[in-house]
Amino acid sequence: MSMTRRDLAGLAGAAVLASATEATAATPGKGGNVTPTPAQQKLIDAAREVRQRAYAPYSHFLVGAALETEDGTVFKGCNVENLSYGATICAERNAVFQAVAAGHKKFKAIAVVGDLPAPITPCGMCRQVLGEFGGQTEVICTNLKKEVMVSTVGALLPAAFDFDPGKYK
């Protein structure tokens, strides 16, 4: 199965949750929507705000991310494109790299916002980078229509490459 950011419907293993432990709604795009908790909404708002700073002159596809560390610090990131496409960085990795540079390596949650018909999910490379720090990080996916899907890195990246496969459980 091929998977892209735009193909939420085929997402295997994703859980639609109000929090990492409680299901409260149907799948977005099929008539349902998760109501974010206040903590999730704070991250969504931060991701929406930083999305406006994205540098995307080639795709015009703006993405924002807000990453909450274990101690509650929030790092924001937006996508930054480059004419040499391989040098482009996604919003999620931008936020993770800023957090790591500031000395943080344990994350509670990340919110990602993009303009898609269904909530945006991190690309495979971002999933792998997030997975480097553990599979239990909550991933709050949303779009400009305010539809929300919540999962975990482990659910979004089943059978992840790792020398310690137990890390994702």
Q: Tell me, what's the pLDDT at 26?
A: 35
Note whether residue 130 is domain-resident: yes
Q: Are 5 and 123 in contact (CB under 8 A)?
A: yes
Note whether residue 23 is domain-resident: no
Note whether residue 20 is domain-resident: no
- For the question of residue 138 being annotated catalytic, the response is no
- Indicate the burial class of 56 (C-beta count within 10 angstroms; 0-12, 13-18, 19 or more): middle
Q: Tell me, what's the pLDDT at 20?
A: 36
* Residues with Cβ within 8 Å of residue 88, at least 6 apart in sequence: 79, 80, 81, 82
Q: Model confidence over 92-137: pLDDT tens digits?
A: 999 999 999 999 999 999 999 999 999 999 999 999 999 999 899 9
The pTM assigned to this predicted structure is 0.81
* Structure token digits, residue 158: 């089943």
- The CATH number linked to 73 is 3.40.140.10
How many domains does one find in the chain?
A: 1
Q: Which of 22, 68, 70, 92 is catalytic?
A: 92
Note whether residue 126 is domain-resident: yes
Note whether residue 10 is domain-resident: no
Q: Tell me, what's the pLDDT at 162?
A: 76
Note whether residue 19 is domain-resident: no
SS3 156: helix
Q: Are 47 and 137 in contact (CB under 8 A)?
A: no
